[in-house]
Structure 1
Amino acid sequence: MSQAPAGSTETPDEDESSSRRRILNATAEVLGRSGQTKLSLSEVALQAGVSRPTLYRWFASKTELLDAFGVYEREMFDTGISRATAGLRGTDKLDAALQFIVAYQQTYSGVRLIDVEPEVVVAQLSRILPLMRSRLERLLSGPNAGLKAATAIRIAVSHYVVRSDDADQFLAQLRHAVGIKQ
């Protein structure tokens, strides 16, 4: 186990976790500029403010980094949804989840990979869409829950592919898809 830097108030585990998190956050920034095929581990290390040996201690290869980044993004999204919906029930919980989806797409820098490498994103959609649908479907009830979830996810993906700066319209479309009356 490594030592925390001199004068640091972090424990070694916190420092290591912080380095890993900085690397994963930097990966989002570099992906947004370069895409997956041109991703440079040196550029990620520089963006994260860590040495290449530190990056390689966490991620032995570009593939390993990208795999971990995919998991990290899903965890960030799931944690955000959980926080946004904590303590809520029914329609309030569903609406909070939809509001989070809109805010996430409008603010998260890594989400714009479609602008840099559309072919990579399109290839990943067939794997990602069923996951997104099942997660949203858990918040819905009734006989058309699957249809509503699928429609809302397709709206979210269309807003991702063809970005709109109108968050209110995006949210209104999601609410309409799942049957929330305003």
Structure 2
Amino acid sequence: MNGLVRVDSESDIFEKYIGTPIELLFRYHNFAQPFDKFIDAQLLIGMCMDNRKQLKIPNNFAYVLRSGGGNLRHSEFKISYAVAIGGVKCVAIIVHNKCGMVNLFSKKDQFIRGMVENAGWDEKHAEEHFISFAPIFEIENELSFLMREINRLRIIYPKILFSPLYYNLDDNFLYLIADDN
């Protein structure tokens, strides 16, 4: 996986994340470090809604926003709330391999059929729904989308540490992105 850095030990964590909640995230998830107790969230995590991934983190450690593809467009107020009221200074956005939001338009017929059969919609309404929302949630490539999203949010929140991360469904590990070092 070109551009990805598997984090197997503390020495693999980029220096800019040492001593931050990102380091703790890796310690809990990848290294199975025993959980500490938290009263307040240490970071906000934006990640895909996909049911195949589950982070190993302690209670109260993080605010977690889940959306298709880890796409946080239209979630800026939620991020702002976590920063302004929750006091978080660090945000991790996590994408993963085999994401259903990649090449979303190839799933149009399946989507329409599923809405008709499972939700009781008529075909025209289901197609209009897909056409209205698929462009918002389509991501052509997980990593390029992630870096664009991270860079967009870094401009909006210049004092917040944003960390682009990758969840590999094949080994259930979190990876760093080499382009971010």
Please, what TM-score do these two structures have when normalized by structure 2?
Answer: 0.28
Flag the structure with larger Rg. Answer: 1
Greater strand percent: which structure? 2
Greater relative CO, 1 or 2 (CA 8 Å, sep 6+): 2
Q: Give the TM-score normalised by structure 1.
A: 0.28
